[in-house]
Amino acid sequence: MVSVAPPPGSYDIETDVVVVGAGACGLTTGLRALESGAEVIVLERDSRPTGSTAMSSGFIPAPGTRFQRAIGVVETPENFAADVQKKAAGKADPAIVKCVTEQIGPALEWLADAHGLEWQVLGDFLYPGHTRHRMHAVPEKTGAALMARLMHAAEAAGLTVVTDARVTTLHVAEGEYITGVTLTRPDGATESIGCKAVVLACNGYGGNSQLVAENIPEIAGAPYFGHPGNTGDAVLWGRALGAAMKNLSAYQGHGSLAHPHGILITWALMMEGGIQVNAEGRRFSNEHGGYSEQAVKVLAQPGGIAWNIYDDRLHGIGMEFPDYREAVATGAIRSGSDAAALASVIGLRANALEDTLAQVLAFSAGTESDPFGRDFTDKPMLSGRLRAVKVTGALFHTQGGLVVDAGARVLRPDGTPLPNLYAGGGGACGVSGASVEGYLSGNGLLTAVALGFVAGATAAIRSGEQRI
């Protein structure tokens, strides 16, 4: 349990900026604050920093970078912002949307130029709601590699990252000014650090089943597939400090988690022509709506599961993704020479699956239209040998949280900032509106890296003002 308490008589050590959490947000914040002249300590509860960042695909959307231009795509932050707002049904804070869509490109170029991260833009498929190819990934295309590269950059820059250090208390003077933190070691020992600014980069509350049940009952019974250490500490401190909080019902779900293997099956399979059927062999949705909201739709099916159905061409696309290759290696991917053979392998009624596939072929040929409204005519028809993987819906991370301004400063309900508290990533309210439908693919790392980039600079400036 975390708490807010008055300052102790003295602190064990002092620094300028304390960053809570060493995921993508915390490491970006730390690197930027260090470069901006502050003394920084990043505190991480785990013995090795991984966070949800290392579990993710590591795809970060950004407009107008030289990496995007290198594959011939020209894009402005305004275009990206329009996609974000369209998915969020116009319910994302325009100031934060503007901030993150403008800052993320410079942030990725800075991570490349100052810290040696390499970016490639995925140019072969578009996620739902993306009008341009803008997903940046490190060459390995995994969140684990992204974290490894950020940690390497942290080491090279001399950033202090202290592990096995769960921040349990924020020390607050006059009800609003954070003078330092207490951290608790795994053996229960405590240490205190005085500081001039604190950045909460400790993600959301997906790992706190009570907060999930309170705020997002629709996903409370589903598997949580994010980092278990993300137990909502930022939200709990925000409550205790009387900070403004918003959109706590928003989250990133996913409707394609291999079951029971617990491996993410890329949504590229759906975007490029695959379908989802339920245990009765019937489609139940437009698979191009978005993988986030698909979590709820899959969970509503008999047994809370669906089968992703696709062909060998799409299997080839899947093999470009490390997660998918892992699913193949574990035997999660089944196959059959045609619909009847596949149905018998996966235990569906042959007639039902054959009927569904015949309908899909008619949608692809343009002779019938899909009652769920999906356009099948722009991708090749499913053909030849068929593949299937059983999936379920899951909660990946929460998107609501502390309301921040474009300087990543945590705000009070009246819109004024707390003097020296900052937040980014899953700890801050994101840009996905108030519900699962509002999550545009990439919104998670977008706010982790862009707000971390901003928070590092503003927290360093704030601590500098106090040094003078």
Ligand X SMILES: Cc1cc2nc3c(=O)[nH]c(=O)nc-3n(C[C@H](O)[C@H](O)[C@H](O)COP(=O)(O)OP(=O)(O)OC[C@H]3O[C@@H](n4cnc5c(N)ncnc54)[C@H](O)[C@@H]3O)c2cc1C
Contacting residues toward ligand X, per CB under 6 A: 20-26, 43-46, 49, 51-53, 55-60, 166-167, 201-203, 225-227, 229-230, 233, 252, 264, 396-397, 425-426, 442, 444-446, 448
In the complex, minimum distance from the CB of residue 72 to ligand X, in angstroms, rounded to a whole number: 23
**Cβ 27 to ligand X shortest distance, Å:** 8
- Nearest residue (CB) to ligand X, 53 versus 179: 53
Least distance CB 186 / ligand X (angstroms)? 12
Instruction: Using the minimum distance from each CB to ligand X, give the nearer residue, 165 or 346.
Output: 165
Least distance to ligand X, CB of residue 201, Å: 5
3-state DSSP of the chain: CCEEECCCCCCCEECCEEEECCCHHHHHHHHHHHHCCCCEEEECCCCCCCHHHHHCCCCEECCCCHHHHHCCCCCCHHHHHHHHHHHCCCCCCHHHHHHHHHHHHHHHHHHHHHHCCCCEECCCCCCCCCCCCCEEECCCCCHHHHHHHHHHHHHHHCCEEECCCEEEEEEEECCCEEEEEEEECCCCCEEEEECCEEEECCCCCCCCHHHHHHHCHHHCCCCECCCCCCCCHHHHHHHHHCCCEECCCCEEEEEEEECCCCEECCCHHHHCCCEEECCCCCECCCCCCCHHHHHHHHHCCHHHEEEEEEEHHHHHHHCCCHHHHHHHHCCCCEEECCHHHHHHHHCCCHHHHHHHHHHHHHHHHCCCCCCCCCCCCCCCCCCCCEEEEEEEEEEEEECCEECECCCCEEECCCCCEEEEEEECHHHECCCCCCCHHHCCCCHHHHHHHHHHHHHHHHHHHHHHHHHC
In this complex, which beta carbon is closest to ligand X, that of residue 36 or of residue 399? 399
Question: Shortest approach of ligand X to residue 206 CB, angstroms?
Answer: 8
Where b means 16+ CB within 10 Å and e means fewer, 224-244 reads bbbbebbbbbbbbbbeebebb
Contact 190, 199 (CB under 8 A): no
Token digits for 23?
């995921």
Specify the residue, 191 or 354, whose C-beta has the smaller distance to ligand X.
Answer: 191
Provide the minimum distance between the beta carbon of 352 and ligand X in the complex, in angstroms, as a whole number. 31
**Minimum CB–partner distance for residue 468 and ligand X (Å):** 29
**307 closest CA partner among 275, 337, 331, 338:** 275
CB of 442 to ligand X, least distance (A): 4
Q: Report in angstroms how near the CB of residue 43 gets to ligand X at its nearest.
A: 5
Q: How many CB atoms lie within 10 A of CB 255?
A: 28
Q: How far is the CB of 228 from ligand X (least distance, A)?
A: 8
Nearer to ligand X, 56 or 308 (CB): 56
Give the residue among 229, 142, 118 at the shortest CA–CA distance from 445: 142
Residue 121 or 445: the one with the smaller Cβ distance to ligand X is 445
For residue 136, give the nearest of 82, 67, 69 by alpha carbon.
67
CB of 421 to ligand X, least distance (A): 14
Q: Which is nearer to ligand X, 142 or 364 (CB)?
A: 142
Q: How far is the CB of 114 from ligand X (least distance, A)?
A: 19
Instruction: State which residue, 60 or 455, has the beta carbon closest to ligand X.
Output: 60
Nearer to ligand X, 123 or 464 (CB): 123
- The residue among 151 and 446 lying less far from ligand X, judged by its C-beta, is 446
- The residue among 199 and 360 lying less far from ligand X, judged by its C-beta, is 199
The nearer residue to ligand X, 298 or 446, going by C-beta atoms, is 446
